[in-house]
Homo-oligomer: A and B are copies of this chain.
Amino acid sequence: MLEKKFISTIRKYSLINPKENVLVALSGGPDSVTLLYLLLKLKDKLKVNVFAAHLNHMLRGEESDRDEEFVRKLCNEWNVTLFVERRNVKEISKGKNVEAIARKERYDFLRKTLKEIGGGKIATGHTASDLVETVLLNLTKGTGIRGLRGFLPKSGNVIRPLIEITRKEIEEYTKKEKLPYVIDSSNYDKSFERNLIRLDVIPVLKKINPSLESAFLKTCETLRLLEDFLNKEVETVIHAWTEKDEIKIPLQTFKSLHPFLRREAVQKAFEQISGRKLSFKNLLDIEKLADAEGYKEIHLGSGFKAVKEDNTIKIRKEQEKPKSFSFKVTKIPTTLHTPLYTLHFAENEGEPLLPITQFKEKGITVRNRKPGDKVNLGKFHKPLKKLLMEKKIPPTLRWQIPIITSGEEIIYIPDVFKAYIKGKPFVGVKVEKRETEKTDS
C-alpha cells in the first residue's frame, strides 16, 4: 500500500527520470530512513542510482554524533554510498536564526554533493504531515497563496516523494519492515514553533477530521494549480511591460486590470528588475499614482521610484543627481549649451535680464540649482524648490534647469521666473529647448 502510493507520487509528479542519481538527505529519522529504504527496494523498478548524504549540524552535542554514527552504520549495512560532512551551525550562525542557517548549510552541502556525483535529484523525507504543519505555521504567521500551498512535490532538483504519505503510515511501515532509526530529541522542544503545531494543534484538529492530511493534500493541490494559473496570467500581462531595468505600464492597461492581477503583476515585474519585493504600502501607493493629475513620482525605497508621466506608470531606479554645471558669461554675444536649453546672450535682444552696466560690473553665471536657492519676489523671498514645484517642473528636471544669476541674485529661469523690467540698454537671452535631451530614456 505504502509502496504503491510512493511509486504513484513519483509518477504523478514526474519526480525521477530513469537512470538518474537520487541523493537522499538522510538525517537518520524514520522519514528519511523509510525514504532511503523505499528507493533501494524499488531501485530496479524505478531505474535509479541511490546515494545518501548526512550533514552533522553539531547542534545537539553527543546526540548529533550518535546520529552520524547511526547513518554511517546503516549505509554500510545497506550498501549505499554515503557522504558525510560536519558543519558547526551554532558557530556559523552566531546564535542568530539557527534553524534558517542550518537549513541553508544543509542545502548547500546537498547541492555540493549532488554535483560531486554528477547531478540528479536531491530527495528529502518531507511527509504529508510535514505539509500540514508547514501550511498551519504559514497561515498562523500570515501568508498568501504560496504559503497556503506549502512545499512542492518538486522544486528545481529537490524532490519530496513522501509528500502524500502520513507520519502514521511511516510509523506503521517502519514497524512492519523492522526499520531502525534515531529520534531527534529536539522534536519535542516546544520552543520550536513547528513542534507546538505538531504536538499541541494537530492532535486537536485530528479529533475533528482524522483524515487531516488528506484534506490538506487536496487543498494544496488545488492551490498549486491555481498558483500555476496565476503565474501564467501574470507572465502574459507583464511580458510587454519590462525593458531591461525599467517597467512601463500604459495607464489604460493599468486601470483595466483587475486589482488582484494588477498587484501580482506589478510585484512580479518589480522583482524582475530589482530582485526585491514591494511592500503592500508600495503597491497601494502605486495604485494611487494612477489617479494623480499630471506628473507625479513616489519613492519606493531601495533606490527605486514609481513615476506617473505621459499616461504611463513607470518604475525605475532613482536617477543619480545629474552632473552640476556652472558657466560664467563675461562678454556678449555668447551662446551657451546647458542640459535642457541653449541660451543666446546678446545686447538688447531676447528676454531682458539686467542692465548692461550691472552685467559689466558683476557678470552673469548660469548654473544648476543649489539647495537653499531663493528667488526675490520683491516683498519676500521664496524657496526656489517651492517655486519649481508650483510651476510643475518635474523633479527629474529640477536639477537640470538653468538658473541665471548675477552676483548672489537669481535673475531668470526659463519658463519659471523673470526678475527684470525692461529698460535699455540691457543684456537679453534667447532660450531654445534642446529637443535631443530626454531625461527619462
Contacts and interface: CB of A to CB of B under 8 A. Distances in A.
A130 B236 CA distance: 38
A117 interface: no
Given A232-B258, A260-B229, A196 B219 contact: no
A209 interface: yes
A91 interface: no
A140 B229 contact: no
Contacts of A144: 219, 222
A377 interface: no
A411 B72 CA distance: 80
A228 B232 CA distance: 18
Interface string A194-231: 00110011001101110010111011001001101100
B229 A261 contact: yes
Nearest to A215: B142
Q: Could you say how many copies of this chain the assembly holds?
A: 2
Contacts of A145: 226
Contacts of A141: 208-209, 215
**Size bin of chain A's contact surface:** 35 or more
Contacts of A201: 201, 204-205
Contact of A259 (B135, B148, B225): B225
A139 interface: yes
A137 interface: yes
A145 B215 CA distance: 14
Given A258-B232, A259-B225, A142 B204 contact: no
A59 to B, nearest CB: 21
Contacts of A204: 196-197, 200-201
Nearest to A206: B140
B260 A226 contact: yes
A137 to B, nearest CB: 7
B142 A216 contact: yes
Contacts of A135: 139
B215 A140 contact: yes
A212 B140 contact: yes
Given A228-B258, A260-B226, A261-B229, A193 B208 contact: yes
Contacts of A137: 208
Nearest to A144: B222
Interface string A133-175: 0011101111111001000000000000000000000000000
Contacts of A200: 204
A139 to B, nearest CB: 7
A225 B259 CA distance: 8
Contacts of A139: 135, 139, 215-216, 219
Given A136-B205, A193-B208, 7 more contacts: A135-B139, A140-B215, A141-B209, A142-B219, A201-B201, A201-B205, A225-B260
Interface of A: 135-137, 139-145, 148, 193, 196-197, 200-201, 204-205, 207-209, 212, 214-216, 218-219, 222, 225-226, 228-229, 232, 258-261
Which A-B residue pairs are the 6 nearest by beta carbons?
A142-B215, A229-B260, A225-B260, A200-B204, A229-B258, A140-B205
